[in-house]
């Protein structure tokens, strides 16, 4: 059946397009990046997507449902990059752990502008909910996989821990907290050289991670100054709402 342009528009506004849900999520994400979480009204989202309110509520009965879907989307996107690392049989357990940290760091760097915007908005309830839920989803998904790597490292004598599941969850929560601490420091521009301080703290976290795992010093690749400078360049410089 051949649709005219007008009929395609009608079908789109009625939500018949298979891409309508994705269009709404794309619109919500772009609005958040451009204007902050306060811009996430139903009217603004459907206006940006070119869809109707009925279509919005068909896919997302509440605004919280939209935020939940955004969280799932961010976590799934991260998993597409990070997930394959856990299947790298050509790497030792310690090398896989190091590669996971490297790939996840690269993922954050590539999206540092978006992360910077979310951090600016973190004082707003919606952004705080979004980031906390993404963190929880990531930790829950990665804990058993990281625990398997640690357990294998124990069997091979590379790592030395008592409970791999507890250590895996602890490390993931700790690494997330380290990232947030780095962003807080850069956002506040604390100290004479916040980039140098953030770099030293990030690498101190990696050194401590090695000790917790019982791994040799230097097993995990360190963060570079250029990495921190890239994140700093995308952090907001005015009207900061940094959580305490």
pLDDT tens track for 96-132: 999 999 998 888 777 766 666 666 655 556 666 767 7
In 3D, which of 53, 107, 108, 40 has the Cα closest to residue 80?
Answer: 107
pLDDT computed for residue 2 by the predictor? 34
Give the residue with greater pLDDT, 176 vs 170.
170
* Predicted confidence (pLDDT) at residue 9 exceeds the cutoff of 60: no
Range in 125-129, 150-154, 205-209 the model is least confident about: 125-129
Tell the residue number behind the tokens 């019982």, with chain if given.
214
With contact defined as beta carbons under 8 Å apart, do 228 and 198 qualify?
Answer: yes
Residue 51 DSSP symbol: -
CATH number of 5-59: 1.10.10
Check if the beta carbon of residue 51 is closer than 8 Å to that of residue 59: no
Place of tokens 């996430």: 40
Higher pLDDT pick, 181 / 16 = 181
Average pLDDT, rounded, for the chain: 80
Domain ranges of the chain: 5-59, 63-233
- C-alpha distances (whole Å) from 200 to each of 82, 103, 212, 228 are 25, 20, 18, 10
The rounded distance, in Å, linking the Cα atoms of 26 and 108 is: 19
Exposed, middle or buried: residue 176 (CB in 10 Å: 0-12, 13-18, 19+)? middle
**Fold of the 63-233 domain:** Tetracycline Repressor; domain 2 (1.10.357)
Using the predicted structure, report yes or no on whether residue 50 has a pLDDT greater than 70: yes
CB-based contacts of 90: which residues, under 8 Å, 6+ apart? Answer: none
Task: Compute φ and ψ for 223, nearest 5 degrees.
Answer: -75, 140
Q: State the pTM of this model.
A: 0.73
Q: Which residue has the tokens 């601490």?
A: 181
Q: Among residues of the chain, what percentage have pLDDT more than 90?
A: 37
């Amino acid at each position: 059946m051949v649709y005219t342009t007008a009929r395609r528009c009608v079908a789109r506004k009625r939500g018949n397009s298979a891409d309508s849900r994705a269009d709404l999520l794309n619109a919500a994400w772009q609005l958040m990046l451009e204007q902050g979480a306060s811009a996430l009204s139903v009217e603004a989202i459907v206006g940006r997507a070119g869809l109707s309110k009925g279509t919005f509520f068909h896919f997302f009965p509440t605004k919280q449902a939209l935020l939940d879907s955004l969280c799932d989307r961010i976590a799934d996107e991260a998993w597409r990059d990070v997930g394959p690392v856990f299947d790298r049989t050509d790497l030792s357990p310690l090398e896989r752990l190091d590669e996971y940290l490297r790939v996840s760091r690269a993922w954050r760097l590539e999206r540092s502008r978006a992360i910077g915007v979310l951090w600016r908005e973190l004082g707003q309830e919606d952004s705080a909910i979004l980031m906390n839920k993404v963190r929880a989803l990531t930790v829950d998904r990665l804990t058993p996989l990281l625990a398997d790597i640690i357990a294998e490292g124990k069997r091979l004598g590379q790592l030395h821990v008592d409970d791999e599941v507890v250590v895996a969850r602890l490390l993931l929560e700790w690494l997330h907290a380290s990232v947030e601490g780095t962003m807080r420091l850069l956002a506040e521009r604390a100290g004479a050289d916040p980039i140098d301080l953030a770099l030293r703290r990030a690498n101190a976290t990696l050194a401590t991670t090695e000790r917790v795992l019982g791994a040799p010093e230097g097993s995990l690749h360190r963060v570079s100054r250029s990495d921190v400078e890239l994140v700093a360049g995308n952090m907001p410089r005015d009207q900061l709402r940094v959580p305490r």
